[in-house]
Structure 1
Amino acid sequence: MFQATPRGSRRLAVSLAATGALFLTTVVAAAPASGATESTENTDVCESFRAAGDNFAEYCIGEEAANDVAATNTIPGVDEIASTANLRQIANIPKFGGFASEGAYDSDLAFQGNYVFAGNYEGFNVFDVSDPSAPQVVSQVVCSGSQGDPSVIGNLLFLAVDQPRTNDSCSSSVSSATQESSWEGVRIFDISDKANPRYIKSVRTDCGSHTQTLVPSKDGKSVYVYVQSYGPSASAFYCKQPHDKISIIKVPLDNPTSAAVVATPVLFPGTTGANSTTGCHDITAYPELDLAAGACMGDGVLFDISDRENPVILSQVRDTNFAFWHSATFNNAGTKVLFTDELGGGSSAICTSSYRTNQGADAIYDIVGSGADRKLVFKSYFKIPRLNTTLENCVAHNGSLIPAMGRDIMVQAWYQGGISVIDFTDSANPVEIAYWERGPLSDTRRILGGAWSTYYHNGYIYSNDIQKGLDVLKLDDPRTNNARAISFAELNVQTQPSYPACTTVLRNRQNGGLDITSGITCLDGVTVNGATKVAPGAGLIAFNSTLNGSVTATGASVVSIVESNVNGSVDAIGGTVRDSAVTGSVKTS
């Protein structure tokens, strides 16, 4: 059953318009006949999520719409774990302190060095994962306001608030969007002392901040915060219709307390085409390529962000199988985008036999053309190939790339559908290569839970589970183990970083030396019998390899030797030698 709040009335219009006839049929089938008594059970399961805000209640599909489960897989029992052999959990920190209650939902993640910043509807946690198998709590900041998505850069953390509050303080309470005094937007914290983050600034934005994306300025002196929000209403004071825009905050890094909204570009003007798209749910920026991909409710959008304060639409697509364009991920080359569809608002049981494999799924698009003529071209869908019970909320949600050599591989959260790893190197034929999931939280009622965000960072998979807390997993697969050769000092998944792209991948014995004159040569389990030389501008990435000879590089684009043995010396200024044994001298600085 759909019920629209004042902040959700136009969200419903977008959902119905974008999903097409089949989704409308599903909703109608779930509704009571004229004059019939409405199902109390259906009302309860959806209404129980209303206090959480977001679109959990607005888009919730009741149990009558998903009651035909004919599972071919064995569904694990309550709190049981099912997985492929190559993906295993190595640690868990349950929710605690001010976040222990069922209604305190864990949300998004950000990373900096050995620290994980885990968002929650009540604030955020800081964990030290120097030993990923034994994470340590560093601090918990209680500062309520859904949905608490964090992003980090340097000594700053940005926290999204998409809930009208009585004021901008951490002691505020829930307010009404109709009140002029209400506040919602972005909070800024100083995290130079991870054990004692300090709240230093707030910025109000129209309709709040459901999600936010950091986009560094080209001169490196500032960072822009792209603020995504939606759900306008005629009665809302700061969230008027139409809301076909985003807000852009500029934050001088040397004076973050002067942060302010500098632009509110209208992305979907007019009354045709995208008139029902009232803002974006999420935007993933790829700053190095001056691109961004927007999951904008009823539309998937490719932007040119060369001018950080004035994004320009390059391509805009719709899909009758998509109910709510939710998030986006580029491949490393910037030639593909994987979009997700959050049919049912995240609170519904979409991974049952009542829904097709192209509903509540991923859609993979190639980016074709060049410059201003680049377009999104549909290639395929992907949905996890397992059925869940009607008591498990399950739909495509947040994920990130795994920087595997020569392949496009992604790990992704599916709420109570668990965690899935997919290879979409062939964008027309994506394949799941690993999964891990818990059984339902209850066998008597639907509890909102499961993996909210699941991301790969420096060799491990981190997943923020709405009810179970922070999970750490290890993926052991020959297709992805070499991703450990790539590490990031900082990672905000919606600010997608690039990593060195292999032009040649070697996986066999190399008799004789290796002379790399151009491109980036990647070694995965290779034995090189002879000296390795890297010419200026060329690159070498060696993982789990044995180099029987010296390594020399001058002016190389990248030299990274990880989990390898070098029987000789390494002379590579600016290079990295990590978790490796070297018999000779090492000169990297």
Structure 2
Amino acid sequence: MTSFHTPRVRRRRLGVAAAAAGLFATLLTAGPAIASPDPGDSPAEEKISSSQAAEVKAAIEQGEIPGVDEIVHSSNITHLANVPKDLIKGTNSDLAFQGNYAFTGNYDGFRIFDISNPKAPKTVAQVLCPGSQNDISVSGNLLFLSTDSSRSDNSCNSVAQSASIKESWEGMKVFDISDKRNPKYVAAVETACGSHTHTLVPKAKDVYIYVSSYGPSAAFPDCQPPHDGISIVKVPRKAPQKAALVKFEVLFPDGGNPGAPTNPGVSATSGCHDITVLPSKDLAAGACMGDGILMNIKNPEKPKVIDRVQDNVNFAFWHSATFNQGADKVVFTDELGGGGAATCNAEIGPNRGADGIYDIVGKGDKRKLVFRSYYKIPRHQANTENCVAHNGSLIPVKGRDIMVQSWYQGGVSVWDFTNSAKPKEIAFFERGPLSTESLVGGGTWSAYYYNGHIYSNDMVKGFDVLKLDDRLTDPAKRVRMHELNAQTQPDYVKDFRH
């Protein structure tokens, strides 16, 4: 393991290269569930040219990038633990937290860890329930999974089946996790075009779910164009088996960004990829393929778009969003290349496949999103490494805007955007490429800060725990949460007051 006192900037010019009877989950008894790069169904693997491979090897030999599987990090990061995949072999995806537990999604199901000792996470349960990408969240005694691949039915022993068949199923699954060692599958709700991601809007008696999906086709009976909005599901806490679709809410009555040929290189909007809500402020930010939106969600069944922005120069695919603590900024991510391409290099540059930082100006429903700057990790990656902005969360430091974020094989980056116009990295952790011969999909899918530590779900290498020691972020260690779903942001400002 190599430690660096400051994040390195690499100078080398690296190349681009429930059927009714089927609410059934298989609980794996040995301590664990492929999240593939968006929006595909399997990890990328593509041979590169011999000259490109030679360039990668030369960069490793010269110390410009770490070697295959070598771990490097800034001096203020400590790698406490890694837990490889176990019985569930698919690719790891998102994360959620509750008490002393971490819940890790995987295209083949999910795994529950006891993280009471962050240095030694222990597997509590592993549930086999295939259905990409198994985006995961928790609220009280309920766990929610997104299924975004067409299946033969809604059970956990379904098989892949064409979306052109009316009886095929995609959507939301609900589990009872009151017994963490024995999760019970209790409900399924089919949603149009499935559920690529989902976002919880928790209320006292019910949990609302904003379901994001895309990719409609006239050939798909349950995923018809136009698909210009989100599905809203309501789950009664005391009777989750009664979970049901409330409505499909149209967010883009004009169809959204048309994409090419009007806007070459930009995804046409046909739904949203991900939504982040700030319940304490009745706000939501949507990353919707070709559009970024700001919404008023005071009535969770009637989200109202109050502003909408596009970046047809540098943003290819609006992927996710994160509010700052003061609710006057949003960080949007651009998943250039769908998460399966090498985009962290000199050829792509610092503004594409990056974060876009937007200030929120004005009041009430007249608030507007105003672009301020881009942020991208300052270390070039090999042309065999998929790398682009991906999932992250705030690190709760009073008076500052600091975020930890995944970059696939670009690793984990901790960065400060207190000055919206001048974001700056303050810590990093990454592994070297999985291969010097092929672009093989991998790296960290999600990296979130929870109760004093950073937890990362690496698509290939497993579950990582990092400790961050830095004068800028140390105050966050005093903030303790009972629950964290990164796309349902807590009111950290309230925590600071108490």
TM-score (norm: length of structure 1): 0.74
Q: Deviations over 1:505-524 (max 9, x none)?
A: xxxxxxxxxxxxxxx7xxxx
Which residue matches 2:246? 262
1:61–1:348 CA contact under 8 A, matched in 2? no
Match of 2:116 among 130, 136, 141: 130
SS in 2 for 1:264: strand
Which residue matches 1:571? none
Within 5 A, what are the aligned runs for 1:175-194? Answer: 175-194=161-180
Q: Deviations over 1:217-252 (max 9, x none)?
A: 3xx111100000000001011001110010000111
Which residue matches 2:291? 299
SS in 2 for 1:449: coil
Which residue matches 2:441? 448
Distance 1:354 1:58 in 2: 26
Which residue matches 1:197? 183
SS in 1 for 2:493: coil
1:353–1:387 CA contact under 8 A, matched in 2? yes
Q: Deviations over 1:295-353 (max 9, x none)?
A: 00001110111111111111110112000000000001100000000000001101122
Distance 1:316 1:97 in 2: 44
Task: Report the alpha carbon displacement of residue 365 of structure 1 after superposing the two structures with TM.
Answer: 0.2
2:328–2:361 CA contact under 8 A, matched in 1? yes
Distance 1:372 1:501, change over 3 A: same
Which residue matches 1:499? 492
Task: Report the alpha carbon displacement of residue 499 of structure 1 after superposing the two structures with TM.
Answer: 1.3
Which residue matches 2:130? 144
Task: Report the alpha carbon displacement of residue 405 of structure 1 after superposing the two structures with TM.
Answer: 2.4
Instruction: Kindly indicate whether residue 86 of structure 2 is the aligned counterpart of residue 96 of structure 1.
Output: yes
Distance 1:451 1:498 in 2: 26
Q: Deviations over 1:193-214 (max 9, x none)?
A: 1011011110000000000000
Instruction: Kindly indicate whether residue 40 of structure 2 is the aligned counterpart of residue 56 of structure 1.
Output: yes
SS in 2 for 1:396: coil
Within 5 A, what are the aligned runs for 1:255-404? Answer: 255-270=239-254, 276-319=268-311, 320-404=313-397
Instruction: Kindly indicate whether residue 228 of structure 2 is the aligned counterpart of residue 225 of structure 1.
Output: no
The two structures, once aligned, show a CA RMSD in angstroms of 2.3
Distance 1:135 1:410, change over 3 A: same
Distance 2:374 2:232 in 1: 32
Distance 2:383 2:401 in 1: 32
SS in 1 for 2:250: coil
What letter corresponds to residue 68 of structure 2 in structure 1?
V
Distance 1:500 1:269 in 2: 35
1:57–1:347 CA contact under 8 A, matched in 2? no
Task: Report the alpha carbon displacement of residue 446 of structure 1 after superposing the two structures with TM.
Answer: 1.9
Q: Percentage identity across aligned positions?
A: 57
2:255–2:269 CA contact under 8 A, matched in 1? no
Distance 1:501 1:51 in 2: 35
Distance 1:295 1:334 in 2: 16
Which residue matches 1:564? none
Instruction: Kindly indicate whether residue 429 of structure 2 is the aligned counterpart of residue 436 of structure 1.
Output: yes
What letter corresponds to residue 249 of structure 1 in structure 2?
V
Task: Report the alpha carbon displacement of residue 270 of structure 1 after superposing the two structures with TM.
Answer: 2.5
Instruction: Kindly indicate whether residue 245 of structure 2 is the aligned counterpart of residue 252 of structure 1.
Output: no
Distance 2:223 2:127 in 1: 28
2:142–2:177 CA contact under 8 A, matched in 1? yes
Task: Report the alpha carbon displacement of residue 364 of structure 1 after superposing the two structures with TM.
Answer: 0.2
**Runs of 4+ deviating beyond 4 Å:** 50-54, 57-64, 66-73, 271-275
My pick for the range that moved more, 73-82 or 485-494, is 73-82
Which residue matches 1:405? 398
Which residue matches 1:35? none
Instruction: Kindly indicate whether residue 94 of structure 2 is the aligned counterpart of residue 108 of structure 1.
Output: yes
Distance 1:367 1:51, change over 3 A: closer
Distance 1:59 1:239, change over 3 A: farther
2:256–2:290 CA contact under 8 A, matched in 1? no
Distance 1:445 1:230, change over 3 A: same
Task: Report the alpha carbon displacement of residue 458 of structure 1 after superposing the two structures with TM.
Answer: 0.1
Distance 1:271 1:164 in 2: 25
Task: Report the alpha carbon displacement of residue 98 of structure 1 after superposing the two structures with TM.
Answer: 2.4
Distance 1:250 1:89 in 2: 40
What letter corresponds to residue 194 of structure 1 in structure 2?
K
TM-score (norm: length of structure 2): 0.87
Task: Report the alpha carbon displacement of residue 85 of structure 1 after superposing the two structures with TM.
Answer: 0.2
Distance 1:315 1:51, change over 3 A: closer
Instruction: Kindly indicate whether residue 191 of structure 2 is the aligned counterpart of residue 168 of structure 1.
Output: no
Distance 1:416 1:404 in 2: 27
Q: Deviations over 1:230-287 (max 9, x none)?
A: 0000101100111001000011111111010001111101257668310000000101
Q: Deviations over 1:134-175 (max 9, x none)?
A: 000001000000001111001100000000000001110001
SS in 2 for 1:500: helix
1:106–1:119 CA contact under 8 A, matched in 2? yes
2:395–2:449 CA contact under 8 A, matched in 1? yes
Q: Deviations over 1:449-486 (max 9, x none)?
A: 00000000000000000000000000000110110111
Distance 1:465 1:404 in 2: 26
Distance 2:106 2:256 in 1: 38
Distance 1:52 1:173, change over 3 A: farther
What letter corresponds to residue 285 of structure 2 in structure 1?
A
2:390–2:405 CA contact under 8 A, matched in 1? yes
Distance 1:272 1:465, change over 3 A: closer
1:224–1:249 CA contact under 8 A, matched in 2? yes
Distance 1:462 1:272, change over 3 A: closer
Bigger CA radius of gyration: 1
SS in 1 for 2:465: strand
- Higher relative contact order, chain-length normalized (CA < 8 Å, sep 6+): 2
What letter corresponds to residue 80 of structure 1 in structure 2?
E
Distance 1:53 1:449, change over 3 A: closer
Q: Deviations over 1:7-63 (max 9, x none)?
A: xxxxxxxxxxxxxxxxxxxxxx98xxxxxxxxxxxxxxxxxxx99585237998975
Distance 2:104 2:144 in 1: 12
2:45–2:439 CA contact under 8 A, matched in 1? no
Distance 1:77 1:492, change over 3 A: same
Distance 1:246 1:238 in 2: 14
SS in 1 for 2:476: helix
Task: Report the alpha carbon displacement of residue 500 of structure 1 after superposing the two structures with TM.
Answer: 2.9
Which residue matches 1:545? none
Q: Deviations over 1:483-539 (max 9, x none)?
A: 01111100000000111369xxxxxxxxxxxxxxxxx7xxxxxxxxxxxxxxxxxx4
Unaligned runs of 5+ in 2: 1-15, 18-33, 260-267
